Every structure is written in structure tokens, then in C-alpha cells.
Structure 1
Amino acid sequence: MENLTVHGQERPRKAHEGAAEHPRGTAPRSTDPQAQQRMMALLHGALVTQLLVVAEEFGIAEILAGGPAPVSQLARRCGAHERSLHRLLRALASQGVFQEVEAGTFALTPLAETLRADVPGSVRAWIRFWGMPEKLQAINSLSYSVRTGRPAFPHVHGTEWWSYLAAHPEHAELFNDAMGEMARRVHAVAVESCDLSGVRRVVDVGGGQGHLLATILPRHPELRATLLDQPSVIRGAKAVLEAAGVADRVDLVGGDFFDGVPEGADTYLLSMILHDWDDEQCITVLEVIRRAMAPDAQVVVIDAIVPAGNTPHDGKLRDTVMMALHPGRERTEAEFSALFAAAGLRHVSTTGLASSTGLLVARAYPVVGRREESGAGGGPASGA
């Protein structure tokens, strides 16, 4: 193998170098122009994200809720540089976010409506959370995670994600708002796909500030609930539950679900919890729940359920965010089944709901003969 000369010194040519060289006398084959355009669109994805974050920061969608407005007026109202704001809006309009209805005048589009705070389907809190610089720094260091198998966030910031949020209440608020938005918009729909007939008490394990309970309890007037999360988190739950008119039906419990959960409930809800943790930690949480649950109780897990192969799925992209922030990951149905089995639970059903969410139900094996029954044939009924 010939050597390369670099800065006047020879070094051995690496095995992969020159592998794609073309034989002498032949021209390199051009790549597909459509593939080039697709790749450039992918590269621009991070840029579009940042444009959305800035548009939300300046409250453009809220200002335009009153109707189209010229950039000069928008700039005065939000405190922006007029020409720079026009360039921002022009770029977003090219993506269907806002519309330049005439030269220098912009209006909302259905896509831009989702940037508003108080409209159904709003993603404003999620955009604000996505723009959190510390989160983006970890994602920008994703190569560290790929190289080492460890989350990049502690490597970049010197502390793990949850400790960082506990020490920075303003960022914890961003996180809680985004999770609440997701709970109201997506997870409540998932719970409604589960049969809650006969359920008397549900424990929302790691349920944040109660946004999911605030959405589902009004639809089930006979249902009572317990909300379990860190004391610093559930302090914000009272206002959320009172606004929904269900505060008198929810017990607030501050605690750590690795140590224990309230006993005797017939449904234990884990909404976007297990994906934060590695397999051993997930099994610990599930074992804690199994010891606490009533004999006929169920565990309901809401999480992405990653399909095999090349099927597009939001969970496959979100999994790389988990890789940067947490020791956990998004999982396949089979991987969830394995977690349940390791914790002494029986996976009984799966419902695929959307590209980002699925719902799995597990129950405890009978105390007598559990080992024999766990080895029986037959898999879970799947609606995925």
C-alpha cells in the first residue's frame, strides 16, 4: 500500500482512503440531483428549528393573531430589527410557517397557529424547550454518545439531566411546560384507548404537574387518582388540577418512584417514564410497582414503540435525543415485553396510536405458579 505525503512527511494510507477513487480515464458518476436536494433539506432541518425558536421568542404568532401586519409594525411591537425580522419571516414563510400576503406584510398560516400559546394543538412550550441551549449543546455533542455509549449531557455540563433541572428552576419550568403540553395533546388520547371501566384509582407515576390527570379525570367522574413525583415538581400540580376542577379527586405524593409507590391502586400509569432509564433501572421501577399493586391491577405504559426496519417513526429520531440526554432509550415492543417479564409482569396488550406514541398494558403473574405461567406460550395481543 502506497504512502501519503502530508506536510512533507510520509504516512501510511489508511484502508478506507482511496477506496472510492475512480479508475484512470473514467469520469466520476454524478449523484442523483433529487438526492442532493433531499440531503440539503435534511441539513437545513436544524436551521429551521432555530428559526422557529426565535419566532416564538419574539411572540410573532401572538401578534399576528389579530390579522396580517407589516414587518415595520411587527418589529416595533416585539423589539426586533426590521430588516432582520423580515429575513427571518421570509425564510419561515418558505417552509409554510407564516405567509407573505404582500410585500413586507405577513400573516398566520395553519402551521403558524401552532406557535400560539392557548390554541388546541399548540406546540409553543415544546418549541421553547427545544431551544434550551444546554439541551442543544448536548445534542451537538452526540458524537460523544456514539463513541462511548454514554449520554453527552453530563459530559458537557458536568451533571446529569435531572440534577441540572433541579438546580435550574427556570429550565425545569420549560421542561414541565413541554411535558404538560405533550400530556394534554397526545398522552391523554393514549389513555382513552385503554379500558378504564371498573378502575377506581390510578397512580400517575412520575406524572409531573398533573396535566395528564387534569385531562382524563373530567371524562371519568368515578375515578380517583394519586400523583407521584418529586416534591419540587408536584408543587405546581395544585393549580393545574384546580383549573381542571379535579383537585379534590387527586392525592399529591412527593417521592421517588425508585424507592416506592402508593399501594393498592388498580392502575399504575407510566407516561413517557421508562424511556428515560436503562433496562436495569426500568426493571427496578416496574418491580417497585408490582410489589405495590393490587392483585388484579394493571400497569399502563405510554411510550414510543419503535418499529423494525426502515419504517419512518418519530421514536427513531427521538431516540437519538434520549441518547444525548439520558441513559435510557426508545424501545421496540419486544424490548418492553422483556422488561415486563424481568419484573414479574405479563405483557397483555399493545396499541399503536400514532407515529410518536403507543400504549402497552401489563399485569402481575399470579403469586402461585407464576414461574410456570410466565413460561407458557402465546404473546401479547397487539393492536400496533
Structure 2
Amino acid sequence: MATPNVGPVTQLLTQVQRSTVKYLEYFSMHSLPEPSYKDGDGLGPNQQLPSDIEAARNSALEATEELHQLLLGPLGLILSSPGDQYLMLSIQYICRYNIAELVPLQEGTTFQAIATGAGLNLKDVTRFLRLSAAWHVFHEPARDKVVHTAASRLLINNPKLKAWIDNIAEEFWPSLARTVDATQRWPGSEEPNESGYSLGHNTDDSPFEVIKRDPLRQQRFMDVQSFSHSHHSFSIDHLLDGFDFNSVRTIVDVGGAHGKAAIALAQKYPHIEIIVQDQPQVIKGLKQHVPVDLEGRIRGMEHDFFTPQPSKDADVYLLRWVMHDWSDKYCIKILESLTPALKGGAKVVVSDICIPEPGQLSVAADRGFRQMDISMKAFNNARERDAETWAMLFERADPRYEFLGITIPQGARMAIIQAQWRGGDR
């Protein structure tokens, strides 16, 4: 008798069971409680799991998500599309009014006590918290009683997490809502002030110009970058170990902000000297971040990377987490602006996202990259790129760039993209 074909739902059930069992075995081996809404998973915010356990966790998550969507059916899949924005809305409300801090960690409180403590309308407090509780952020064990869950406890005294929430809600939401309108108004535009952000915020300036005019928004934006890169997959160690800096003597860190990459490089490679370049309002904060013992080897320089590069003859020009903020047109301009300073054999090293080819990742992993890509378009017509597009940028910037290829270190989120100047010395 022939064995019937196993359908996708059955395959996903098997994947969920196998992967979840392996993940839970790790908890048992380390005497950790099984994950729960009440107590969480017992892991630190940035705790790095063994690679096989991390893979099992991701496999289970991806399979359960795919199973969920299959069971919804085609109509249910489309009808569910507004979903998680309501979770984000409720968390925005909680953070805006510092509600998590008003709920005692042990005994909980009431909706009325929260409303009184925050000076808010009782009906609004009740509705928003019950909405959040539908996603297990807070819990209502008895009518009008509010207690913490593991998720709501994360919202207490975590300014960078709150900065991330505020940034999504205040900067990106209005942008995403108007992105399709922007494609209609400015078809094919690569200008940073012709995007969903432009329409959503009613501005003719680029998002960066808008944000930097407000010191609080500027600080929030920088906190978000720090928070977003706190996961080990964004660790600077991937760059340090994935590129051979042993023969490098001088580096220009273009758009290097407060020198996080420069400091790590200088600490690991004591023979390297580094110039960190950024806008005046950013670079003025560099000194307070550089350790005293590195002050002689790291110095700041005001520089707009769309203008000719003033620091000549360095061995490496580093662009870390810069290019994805700009459209192809402006990335080409950044690379063109480097060329007056390049000596023969100098390398341009880009540390940024490289999207794998379609079909190389799971559906869930690929979806994450596609969401990032459209978020960047909504913000200022920027984008995330695949290998072909990275090579195209260098080719169009100047044919004297020799594209050396792309590597993605094990466990890294960001690729190492290299090109070498073959134009000879100036």
C-alpha cells in the first residue's frame, strides 16, 4: 500500500514538536523553568544561546508562524493583516504614561488606581490595558485587577526599549501609513524628502534634518540604534574577526558616530590609528566615549560624507551601518566622494545588511528582511540590498573600484562587503 503524501500542516507539526522538544531540553539541563507568560524564559535580554539551541528555537518559531497562517486560510490571512499594530498601540499608551511603573511588582493594582496615579481617564486605561492583556502584556486575574506579566515587567525603567517603541510609533507609523501615497506622488523617487515620512510628517525636509532639530528626538534616535544593535548578531566582533586588519595601519570610520567600532578596533589592534568622521553635532560627543588610553589613536573629524573625503591615503575606509540609510543615488554619491582620497590598494569596507537571494532563507526570515527594506523606503527612500545591488553601487560609482565580494560571518546579521581601489595613487 502506497504511503500517502505528507501535507504541509503535518510537516510543520513535526517541525514544531522536534524543535520545541530540543529547545526545552536546554531549559531542563540548566534547571530553568519552562517559559511562561508570568515568568518569562529566565534568559537575559541579550543572552547568547548555543547555536544549535538558537536554531531549534528559530525553527519552532518559524514553523508555528507558518502553521498559524496555513490554518487561517487565504481569507483569514488577509483579514488578519491589521493585527499586531494594536499590540503596538497599547504598548505605546503604556509607555507614554509610564503605566508599568504604577503597577506594583508583587501584588498588582486596579485600573482605578492606575488612572488616578497617572491622571488619566479610567475608561481609556481599562480599554488599553485589556487590549494589551490580550497579548499577555499585563494580566487581569480578577475583574478590575491588574498584575504584571514577564512582558510588562520589561517596560519598567528601560529607557532604550521605550525609545524604540516611541521611535516606531512617532517616526515610522505615520511614514508607513503614507508610503503608498508617496509612490503615487513621486514615482520612483530616491530623494529622502519624497517619502512616506514626508507626507506623514508634512515636511519638505529629510527625516534626519527633522529629527536633529529636536535634541530629544535626536537622542531617542541614537538610543534606538544602540538598542537595535544590542543583540549578539550585530556585535562588532563579527567585523573584527571577519576582516583581516593585521596589515592595516590607518582607518577612516565614515559616519562613525561616537566611535563604537573605532574603540573596538583600537583595543584589539594596538597598531591601528583611526579617524572617526560624522556631523558636527554628533562628533562633538566622541571624546567622552573614547577611553583615555586610546585618545592618541582615535580622533574625531567633522565631515559630510556627500562631500569629497578630506582624509587621504588611509588603508581602509569603513562604512558601518551607513549605506542602508540612503537610496542607491546617494550611496553612489558617498562612494564617489571617497575617490579623491584613495591610494592604490586602499579598501572600502561596508558593514551592512546583505539580503540573501529569494529561496535561500525560511519564509519567516526572508519576511524580516523585506519588512526592514520597506521600512527604510517609508522613512527616506532608503533600502536594504542584495549582493547584486551592492556590486552595482561600486560599479556605477567608479569603474576603478574592484568589487572583492561579500562575506557573512557565522551568526552575524551584518555582512562584510569589500571593494579595492585599483586606480593607482593620486
Q: TM-score, normalised by structure 2?
A: 0.66
Corresponding residue for 1:57? 96
Aligned length, in residue pairs? 332
The Cα of 1:266 is off from its aligned counterpart by 3.0
The Cα of 1:294 is off from its aligned counterpart by 5.3
Matched, 1:270 2:319: yes
The Cα of 1:230 is off from its aligned counterpart by 0.9
Distance in structure 2 (CA, Å) of the matches to 1:113 and 1:214: 33
Distance in structure 1 (CA, Å) of the matches to 2:119 and 2:389: 50
Identity percentage of aligned residues = 21
Distance in structure 2 (CA, Å) of the matches to 1:108 and 1:240: 36
Matched, 1:163 2:209: yes
* Paired residues of 1:64 and 1:108 also in contact (CA < 8 A): no
Corresponding residue for 1:154? 198
Choose between structure 1 and 2 for higher RCO, CA contacts under 8 A separated by at least 6 residues. Answer: 2
AA paired with 1:318? M
**1:276-301 CA-partner distances (Å, limit 9, x unpaired):** 32323212212333443454443232
Distance in structure 1 (CA, Å) of the matches to 2:218 and 2:155: 20
| Alignment match of 2:423 (pick from 360, 367, 377) | 367
Corresponding residue for 1:94? 134
Alignment of 1:4-23 (within 5 A): none
SS in 2 for 1:314: helix
Segment of structure 1 superposing worse, 226-235 or 291-300? 291-300
Matched, 1:126 2:164: yes
The Cα of 1:184 is off from its aligned counterpart by 4.3
Corresponding residue for 1:195? 243
The 1:349/1:137 distance shift into structure 2, 3 A limit, reads: closer
**1:191-225 CA-partner distances (Å, limit 9, x unpaired):** 34523541444332112333444566555565543
Q: Which runs of 5+ in 1 are unaligned?
A: 1-30, 369-384
* Paired residues of 2:132 and 2:138 also in contact (CA < 8 A): yes
The 1:33/1:338 distance shift into structure 2, 3 A limit, reads: closer
Distance in structure 1 (CA, Å) of the matches to 2:109 and 2:414: 43
**1:131-153 CA-partner distances (Å, limit 9, x unpaired):** 22x54323211122332233233
Distance in structure 1 (CA, Å) of the matches to 2:180 and 2:322: 25
Distance in structure 1 (CA, Å) of the matches to 2:182 and 2:327: 14
* Paired residues of 1:180 and 1:209 also in contact (CA < 8 A): no
**1:313-348 CA-partner distances (Å, limit 9, x unpaired):** 423112222222223322111110121233313233
Distance in structure 2 (CA, Å) of the matches to 1:249 and 1:77: 51
The Cα of 1:182 is off from its aligned counterpart by 2.8
AA paired with 1:363? A
**1:346-370 CA-partner distances (Å, limit 9, x unpaired):** 2333216679x331331314336xx
| Alignment match of 1:141 (pick from 159, 164, 178) | 178
Corresponding residue for 1:173? 219
The Cα of 1:174 is off from its aligned counterpart by 2.2
SS in 1 for 2:81: helix
Corresponding residue for 1:337? 391
The Cα of 1:107 is off from its aligned counterpart by 1.5
Distance in structure 1 (CA, Å) of the matches to 2:162 and 2:271: 33
SS in 2 for 1:225: strand
Bigger strand share: 1
Segment of structure 1 superposing worse, 50-59 or 285-294? 285-294
SS in 1 for 2:277: strand
The Cα of 1:123 is off from its aligned counterpart by 3.4
SS in 2 for 1:360: strand
| Alignment match of 2:381 (pick from 327, 335, 341) | 327
* Paired residues of 1:206 and 1:257 also in contact (CA < 8 A): yes
Segment of structure 1 superposing worse, 273-282 or 77-86? 77-86
Distance in structure 2 (CA, Å) of the matches to 1:295 and 1:67: 65
Distance in structure 2 (CA, Å) of the matches to 1:236 and 1:195: 28
AA paired with 1:164? V
Distance in structure 2 (CA, Å) of the matches to 1:44 and 1:218: 46
Corresponding residue for 1:371? none
Q: Which runs of 5+ in 2 are unaligned?
A: 1-69, 190-194
Runs of 4+ in structure 1 displaced over 6 angstroms? 352-355
Corresponding residue for 1:250? 298
The Cα of 1:86 is off from its aligned counterpart by 3.7
Q: TM-score, normalised by structure 1?
A: 0.72
AA paired with 1:53? Q
The 1:53/1:118 distance shift into structure 2, 3 A limit, reads: closer
Distance in structure 2 (CA, Å) of the matches to 1:212 and 1:106: 41
SS in 2 for 1:239: coil
* Paired residues of 1:298 and 1:364 also in contact (CA < 8 A): yes
Distance in structure 1 (CA, Å) of the matches to 2:213 and 2:376: 20
Distance in structure 1 (CA, Å) of the matches to 2:127 and 2:297: 50
The Cα of 1:164 is off from its aligned counterpart by 1.8
Corresponding residue for 1:22? none
The 1:70/1:220 distance shift into structure 2, 3 A limit, reads: farther
Matched, 1:228 2:277: yes
Matched, 1:285 2:334: yes
The 1:71/1:213 distance shift into structure 2, 3 A limit, reads: farther
Distance in structure 1 (CA, Å) of the matches to 2:320 and 2:371: 19
The 1:365/1:93 distance shift into structure 2, 3 A limit, reads: same
The 1:149/1:236 distance shift into structure 2, 3 A limit, reads: same
SS in 2 for 1:43: coil
The Cα of 1:231 is off from its aligned counterpart by 0.4
Distance in structure 1 (CA, Å) of the matches to 2:219 and 2:319: 21
Distance in structure 1 (CA, Å) of the matches to 2:71 and 2:404: 46
SS in 2 for 1:107: coil
The 1:114/1:245 distance shift into structure 2, 3 A limit, reads: farther
